[in-house]
Amino acid sequence: MVHNTIIITMKISRRNFINTTIAGTAGLLIGKPLVSACNNNPLPEDPFALVPLGKTGIKVSLISAGTGHNGGNRQSNMTRMGADKFGKVLNHEFDRGIRFFDCADTYGTHPFVAEIFRLIPRDKYILSSKIWFHSGGIPEEGRPDADVVVNRFLKELHTDYLDMVLFHCMMTGDWPEKFEKQMEILARLKEKGIIRAHGVSIHSLDALRACISNPWVDTVHVRINAFGTAMDDDDPAKVAEIIKTLHDEGKGIIGMKLIGNGAFMNDPEKIDKSISYVLGLGAVDTLNIGFEKPEEIDDYASRVERVLVSS
């Protein structure tokens, strides 16, 4: 648990410069991304610029923050580092300009996020969380309906509303039929303003295809990088084709596993190629990365900025 005795200095002012000293040591040249000519939202030059999340009416920072790398049973790398260290990461993320923070019930980071943002006006950041319906994954055996779970999320996060709530880790193409009741519940919560958008986090190609032409799906968390690592298919082009279709339908696309779930976190060349590839699709609204150190934020910001200014 996060204790109120923890005091973390929050720097709210936005910085307009990008620190390139860390990434600069790699000495790599990034090629110009091939942005789709039909992309209605040209890439900004600021890696923390607020961009539209599909047609949801929500704007998110181009770089966004995940809060549960290697998460499960309400533990993750973030909880394991402790409240003080993770708090410094969250603090630095906000200070640099990240305004979208992605949580999940399985991560165990709700109380950490709530503590850091308790003094920040709620309209200054975007907050999402994900409901886990599968067996295992969370300590409880029961799986209550989505409205019960969302009510708990609100209390844990100390907020009156959530910008997004998603079904976590959809793995089969029949998820819309399987979770029809829960979809209806989230739709009612959206009508009441308790959540602003609903969607799914995807972990199979069939589950991703089931999002196409589905009017209930506002946003999609999808695994995408240049190498097919920790993705729904070994061929990134197959995933990218579906992503573009979904984006053309107006669905918000949140790209995750940009560095292959950490597989090439120590390979600067692969990181740069993946950033360039994903941004070049012209269909991924935000790059969601689970930062574990403040210096990682500065590093990725520099890399993303180099791609943006070359586009």
What's the CA gap between 202 and 42, in Å, rounded? 26
pLDDT at 69 (0 to 100): 73
pLDDT at 21 (0 to 100): 29
Helices (H), the chain: 21-24, 77-80, 83-96, 110-116, 146-157, 175-178, 180-191, 205-209, 236-248, 268-280, 294-310
What Cα–Cα distance (Å) separates residue 135 from each residue in 2, 142, 204, 276? 27, 9, 18, 37
- CATH of the structural domain 36-310, one choice from 3.40.50.720, 3.40.50.1980, 3.40.640.10, 3.20.20.100: 3.20.20.100
pLDDT tens-digit profile of 259-300? Answer: 999 899 899 999 999 999 999 999 999 999 999 999 999 999
Q: What is the domain partition of the chain in residue ranges?
A: 36-310
What's the CA gap between 149 and 251, in Å, rounded? 24
Q: Is 211 exposed, middle or buried (0-12, 13-18, 19+ CB in 10 A)?
A: buried
pLDDT at 70 (0 to 100): 74
pLDDT at 77 (0 to 100): 87
pLDDT block averages, 10 residues each, the chain of length 311: 34 33 32 43 90 98 91 83 94 97 95 94 98 94 96 98 98 98 98 98 98 98 97 97 98 96 92 97 97 95 96 75
Q: Of 92, 99, 113, which Cα lies nearest the Cα of 1?
A: 113
pLDDT at 40 (0 to 100): 56
What's the CA gap between 172 and 166, in Å, rounded? 15
pLDDT at 311 (0 to 100): 75
